[in-house]
Structure 1
Amino acid sequence: PPAPAPPVTRAALDPALVAGRGADVPFLEQEAEHARTDGTVIGPDRTAYTLPSEASGRSAVRLARGQHVELTLPRAANALTLRYAIPDSPTGGGITSPLRVTTGRDSRTITLTSQYAWLYNQYPFSNDPAADLLHPDWWITECGCVPAATTPAPVVTKPFRPSHFYDERRVLLGRTYRAGETVRLTVPPGATAEWTVVDVVGSELVGPPHVRLRAANALLFGADPTGRRDSADALDRAIAFAQRHDLPVYVPPGTYQVNRHVLVDDVTIEGAGSWYTVFRGREVALPTPAPDGSVHTGVGFYGRPAAEGGSHDVHLSGFAIRGDVRERVDTDQVNGIGGALNDSTVRGLHIQHTKVGVWLDGPLSGFVLEDSMIVDQVADAVNLHTGVTGSVVRNTFVRNTGDDGLAMWSEGVDDAGNVVERNTVQSPVLANGIALYGGRDLTVRGNLVADPVREGSGLHAGARFGATPFAGTIAFTDNTTVRAGTYEQNWNIGLGAIWLYALDRSIAADVRVTGDHYLDSTYNAVLLVSEFGVRDDVSITGVTFRGVRVDGTGTSVVSARTAGGASFEDVDVRGVGAVGVNSCGAFHFPPTGSEFVLTDLGGNDGTDNNPWRPGTNWLAPFVPNTLTCDDRPPVVPPPPPSPW
């Protein structure tokens, strides 16, 4: 009899464990490691710089030439999204390699690429696997040293710290296949790639193209749907006509070459759907740097700068943006959506291979991003930067970012009154799933964050990067993290699934963590921390945890490495790997106890792995300020998450 079909999962979990949280997406995902294959399952592994660590669920299938992976469609589908990895070229820059996709009785060959993957070295990273250290004066965990200050200089293995291995490929199948039909992915015997890793396959029933008849049709203004000619000027003409005649711009199915920013203001642009209307462009070197420091331009839809009043009433929907960004240049404006967009909406977009999917520079207000997908970015997926207010990011799916998935950065001016809700963020290679850097009255609600890899974790509030103080109410509500709590190589400790970090200043706002679920945390569920050098200058206070579930930690429930305090009420735990609380305070170890005070408000159930007081409630022995400082307890892998 045939093997059972691989189950449908969300972030490699049973969907029942994350019901009502994360983005409501149109596709169903199946993990390759659960499929039928003659390849090799790799992982699970949460060690940075490995292929399984960046895979969904920390495991995938590696195929040699001639091998395959096969799954069964869980429902009718006419489109697939394949997440995969193939090797880099020996000198960097990537390769292409074929993959055979057999669906039912039909078969086609698609081309995979690693041209947008494989970064190396230290921030801001390199495409060259043979590059020397970009910062020879930085601390290097691998040798426990500052190489420039070490005699003799240590030998750093090359390629150094490879990362960002994966990419995605979307395939329209041409017809609809029934539930129960098979999809087989086969590496041809003559494939260029020595190996192909298949991570996860999404199947989807895509509807017919959207049509808008009463509109400024971009084809009538010279846009080329074959992609042979640049269509940027034609879009400018269509936008100008639409503004004069109070019409939307409609862009029919096709692939349109656009190699610069398209300026948008007081206009609606509709595509036929992100599977049908694609704006694709090259990254173009500028003859001289732009005033903002950019040395490249590329495809993107930009509002006017905030200094010029910004743009207003911009509405973008139903298309894909495919960039050509292969390196990280932080001064470059090569983002999918940029500028200042007031009272504007972005809906139903698919953004891939840009630097940042959506980076808005305020002050601006009233922006909404929803129902979109942002994948395979060199930096963030979304960053609301400097004075963004009254704005919302909701129901958006993010995967494989090179920095924070979703971020709000109040650099000098408060972000305020913003909401990030019901999004899914998977596999940020660097930094955090969702991060707040300063700001006032911010809400992070109902999100699902999975598989952060290094130098960050699932949810984060950081007083750093020149951000304004946190103020008002900072609410983390009804979020779920899974396989978060990464290893911070610079500090040589494990982070929490949620972590608060006081560096530039104290965190003293009303920080409320309510209803969150932290599942299968690699190290701690909660970390409150300050940099050792400022431990006497900053603290973290005013934090409350209420109605939280912790299902499995590799070490503690709470790790406190700062002065201050937090309260806990109805925090239920199970599967704790070490003592419930690791409280180092500000590392002065006074005889009165830790400088971090934990307050028990009742209802905190479950036991830890305390060898001195077995069976004790996880919080009780550590209230109010008991010193229990063990930075690096042995990690005990928790059992898989299960219904509570």
Structure 2
Amino acid sequence: MFLERSRLAAAVAAGLAIAVGATGTAYASEKAQAKVTRAAIDPALVAGRGASVAFQEQEAENAATNGTVIGPDRTAYTLPAEASGRTAVKLAPGQWVEFTLPKAANAITVRYSIPDAPNGGGITAPLAVKVRNTTRTLSLTSQYSWLYNQYPFSNDPAADLLHPDWWITECACVPAATSPTPAITKPFRPSHFYDEQRLLLGATYQAGEKVRLTASSAAAWTVIDLLDSELVGAPKINLLAANVLLFGADPTGRRDSAPAFDKAIAFARKTHLKVYVPPGVFQVNRHIVVDDVTIEGAGNWYTIIKGRSIALPAPAPDNSVHSGVGFYGKYVADGGSRNVHLSGFAIEGDVRERIDTDQVNGIGGAMTDSTIDGLYIHHTKVGLWFDGPMSNVRVTNNVIVDQIADGLNFHTGVTNSVARNNFLRNTGDDALAMWAEGTTNANNTFDHNTVQTPVLANGIAIYGGTDITVSGNLIADPIREGSALHAGSRFGAQPFAGHLWFTDNTTVRAGTYELNWNIGLGAIWLYALERNIDADIQVVGDNFLDNTYNAVMLVADWPVKDLYSITNTHFKNIKVDGTGTSVLSARVAGSATFENVDARNVGAVGVNNCGSFNFTPAGSEFKVADLGGNDGGWLAPWMIPNTITCNDRPPVVAPPAPSTW
């Protein structure tokens, strides 16, 4: 796995002055200044990429603290690996971490982890938040974190294997084929450690003022990953709308407001008004069905629509076994919805386990000619899961965090649609996905989104489709069984056709360890599993920074390695700054062209060319075409076109931190 730098080196690299005590605790200087990062690195290195957001990100390891810096570490199932930047600060009861505000702020978001309950289910613990002479309490919980075991995971740390017949990397065995079944260490594969909570501070504090977070004795330890600080504007007021209060909605959250929402929507449709949801907490424990309606909140810090997860007495027609808060277009079988516009509110769910049949997503159904803008979606299964066919949906300026599965999925026949300027963190599966299952997706774009710390799978994944663009995104710190950018002929998806463009994206600390294959993935990886990939694939203007393993991987699964290939793939104007192993790993038949691909700090041979592993006298089944301008010595002349240079598991060399090119 990834070679760790020492705790001392990590802190020095972060710009801290520290002294290490006899207990191993790292005491950071109280003179630590405000250091703003994006994806835990210098913002200059990712300028123009990712979402433009209202908050300032500060990593805890760059702040003043009397706690312990943990990490860096990229080993899955560890607290540092799931932290932004792969480093965080661990506090014992009474210890603190103190941030210096870089700009005026009246609100904060704290990303943290606290222990699970001994038997699962989570605990709660207060966190003291002190600014000037005022101390507030932020209620932390682990009820929405700490999953265990194999997919689809368990909340029980003592659970036996969910799939006894699956390959278990840790023992290199198929348990059902051995006698007795090998013992596993419990809890087995703990993950999804982090959560985040928001807090309005009640006043505006100026740049240079301190925010001190102090851990309580209610938790054995508290890990602080980062603090986002923000200056939130005044709530939006709309007097010329159907206000849900007039239809019986309860802004205190004590009574169920779902019927009031239904009445307000019906009235607004008849009178051609918008629906307005004022500041408050509104309890909604089921789907609000939306069609031809505009619903506006006062802003996602003020208008909070919060639901409980309720077990149903019998499965619903959509196969759900729980209800939960969500705004859903009508399903396609019921005609779908059109002209839906949702903005300016938060959706707070109550999803604590992954049940794939449950429709407990923040946004769902089909919504043609619709917009979703400025929402905060938290603790649902999937932030937005669209089931087409549907067309022309715009998903913009949303914050989607702490999901149990995907962040957003354009599923089945979504066309002419865009997700732009969204911020996603801590998803439990692909953060942004297009899945052309059954019916193709076409003419869709993921543009200028930021994805951080997807715990499982990929930052951005494209499963089939026609004329797809992935542009200007920033993806950092994928944890396991996926990476930053992915295109795969998988999951019954329609074939890729037309073009697939990955342009002007930046990945940071990407390339995870694939448990089933026992190899590292590329920051971008193309996977031919169910058919050839032969559409026009252009990877242009992308930057791959601090790659754990390879920057680029093209791969077929072993059982189909002689059936499927990847061709017509082109890499141009790429910068690769740091690889633990190679720049390119080819484990498939096919070909690719490379032009103006500059690489430095490469940990192994520039090209790992295994082809289809037949090792023919004519060379690899994968051909590399050098179109010129490939600097850094990674693509040596003797490798062209298909010299076999196959070494899937070379020693991993931790690259230095990325810097200005």
Range of TM-score over shorter length:
over 0.9
Q: Which residue matches 2:478?
A: 452
Q: Aligned equivalents of 1:184 and 1:106: distance in 2?
A: 11
- Distance, in Å, in 2 between the alignment partners of 1:406 and 1:103 is 36
Match of 2:158 in 1: 130
What is the Cα deviation at residue 333 of structure 1? 0.2
SS in 2 for 1:53: coil
Cα displacement (A) at 1:619: 4.0
CA contact (8 A) 1:518 1:549 kept: yes
Instruction: Give the Cα–Cα distance (whole angstroms) in 1 for the partners of residues 194 and 206 of structure 2.
Output: 29
- 1:611 is matched with none
- Structure 1 residue 576: deviation in Å? 0.3
Find the partner of 1:475 among 501, 508, 519: 501
Q: Report the AA paired with residue 311 of structure 1.
A: S
Per-residue CA distance 1:375-425 (angstroms, 9 max, x = gap): 000000000000000000000000000000000000011110000000000
Distance 2:341 2:256 in 1: 23
Q: Secondary structure at the match of 1:197?
A: strand
Match of 1:639 in 2: 656
DSSP 3-state at the match of 1:9: coil
1:621 maps to which of 638, 642, 652: 638
Distance of 2:637 and 2:105 partners within structure 1:
53
Report the CA distance between 1:354 and its aligned residue. 0.2
Residue number in structure 1 paired with 2:340: 314
Q: Are 2:257 and 1:236 equivalent residues in the alignment?
A: no
Confirm or deny: 8 A CA contact 2:556 2:564 kept in the other structure.
yes
Verify: 1:112 aligned to 2:129, yes or no.
Answer: no
For residues 76-475 of structure 1, the aligned pairs below 5 Å read 76-188=104-216, 191-475=217-501
> Which whole-Å deviations, capped at 9, do the CAs of 1:130-163 have from their partners, x for residues lacking one?
0000000000011000111112321100000000
Offset at residue 102 of structure 1 (A): 0.2
Cα deviation code 1:208-241 (max 9, x no counterpart): 0001110001100000000000000000000000
Tell me, yes or no, if the aligned pair for 2:30 and 2:65 is still in contact at 8 Å: no
Q: Which residue of 2 aligns with 1:21?
A: 49
Q: Which runs of 5+ in 2 are unaligned?
A: 1-28
Match of 1:551 in 2: 577
Shift of residue 256, structure 1, vs aligned partner:
0.2
Cα distance in 2 for residues equivalent to 1:532 and 1:236: 53
Q: How many Å separate the matches in 1 of 2:333 and 2:392?
A: 17
Superposed CA offset, 1:147-193 (max 9, x none): 111123211000000000000000000010011100000013xx211
Q: Counterparts of 1:153 and 1:132 in 2: how far apart (Å)?
A: 11
> How far 1:475 moved relative to its partner?
0.2
RMSD: 0.8
Deviation at 1:286, TM superposition (A): 1.2
521, 528, 537: which one pairs with 1:511? Answer: 537
Question: How far does residue 515 in structure 1 lie from its aligned partner after superposition?
Answer: 0.3
**Further displaced range: 455-464 or 599-608:** 599-608
Local SS of the residue matching 1:52:
coil
Question: Which residue pairs with 1:615 in the alignment?
Answer: none
The structure-2 alpha-carbon separation of the partners of 1:135 and 1:93, relative to structure 1 and needing over 3 Å to count, comes to same
Aligned to 2:26: none
Native 8 Å contact 1:296 1:334 kept in 2: yes
CA contact (8 A) 1:600 1:619 kept: no
CA distance in 2, matches of 1:104, 1:621: 64
Match of 2:614 among 588, 591, 596: 588
For 1:95 and 1:411, how far apart are their aligned partners in 2? Answer: 39
Which whole-Å CA distance do the structure 2 matches of 1:349 and 1:335 have between them?
13
Measured in 2, the distance between the counterparts of 1:89 and 1:166 equals: 15
SS at match of 1:242: helix
Do the aligned residues in 1 keep the contact of 2:540 with 2:574 (CA within 8 Å)? Answer: yes
Take 2:464 and 2:489, find their aligned partners in 1: how far apart are those partners?
Answer: 6
Is 1:31 aligned to 2:45, yes or no? no
* Counterpart AA for 1:401: T
Which residue is 1:614 aligned to? none
Matched residue, 1:613 = none
TM-score by length of structure 1 reads 0.98
Residue by residue over 1:501-539, the C-alpha shift from the partner in whole angstroms, topping out at 9 and shown as x without a partner, is 000101000000000000000000000000010011100
Q: Deviations over 1:272-303 (max 9, x none)?
A: 00000000000111111122211111100000
Equivalents in 2 of 1:587, 1:110: separation in Å? 55
| Match in the other structure for 2:519 | 493
Give distance in 1, aligned partners of 2:643 and 2:318.
51
The answer on whether the counterparts of 1:78 and 1:174 sit within 8 Å (CA) in structure 2 is: yes
Task: Specify which of 599, 622, 633 is matched with residue 607 of structure 1.
Answer: 633
The residue type paired with residue 211 of structure 2 is V
SS at match of 1:570: strand
- Out of 38, 46, 62, the residue aligned to residue 74 of structure 2 is 46
* 8 Å CA contact 1:568, 1:600 repeated in 2: yes
SS at match of 1:148: helix
CA distance in 2, matches of 1:253, 1:185: 27
User: Using the alignment, how far apart are the partners of 1:637 and 1:411 within structure 2?
Assistant: 38
Q: Following the alignment from structure 1 to structure 2, what is the Cα–Cα distance between the partners of residues 269 and 621?
A: 62
Match of 1:532 among 558, 565, 584: 558
Count of equivalent residues: 633
Please tell me the residue identity of whatever aligns with 1:16: A
Superposed displacement of residue 308, structure 1: 2.1
Amino acid at match of 2:660: P
Q: Partner of 2:20 in structure 1?
A: none
Counterpart amino acid of 1:518? F
Structure 1 segments (4+ residues) deviating >4 Å: none
CA distance in 2, matches of 1:202, 1:597: 46
Q: Which amino acid aligns with 1:628?
A: T
Distance in 2, Cα, partners of 1:50 & 1:620: 41
Partner SS for 1:331? coil
**Counterpart of 1:147 in structure 2: which amino acid?**
P
Q: Distance in 1 between matches of 2:432 and 2:141?
A: 26
Contact residue 30 and residue 64 of structure 2 kept, 8 A? no
Q: Deviations over 1:479-509 (max 9, x none)?
A: 0000001100110000000000000101000
TM-superposed deviation, 1:2: 5.1
What corresponds to 1:61 in structure 2? Answer: 89
The equivalent residue for 2:15 is none
- The 8 Å contact of residues 453 and 479 in structure 2, kept in 1 or not, is answered as yes
- The residue number in structure 2 matching 1:484 is 510
Look up the SS of the partner of 1:33 in the other structure. helix
How far off its partner does 1:111 sit?
1.1
Q: Tell me the secondary structure at the aligned position of residue 498 of structure 1.
A: strand
* 2:81 match: secondary structure: helix
Letter of the 2:125 partner, please give it.
S
CA distance in 2, matches of 1:6, 1:553: 30
Letter matched to residue 109 of structure 1? T
Identity of aligned residues (%): 70
Query: In structure 1, what is the Cα distance between the partners aligned to 2:624 and 2:161?
Result: 42
Using the alignment, how far apart are the partners of 1:599 and 1:73 within structure 2? 50
Name the SS for the 2:44 alignment partner. Answer: helix
Gaps (5+ residues) in structure 1?
609-617
Q: Residue 342 of structure 1 aligns to which amino acid in structure 2? A: T
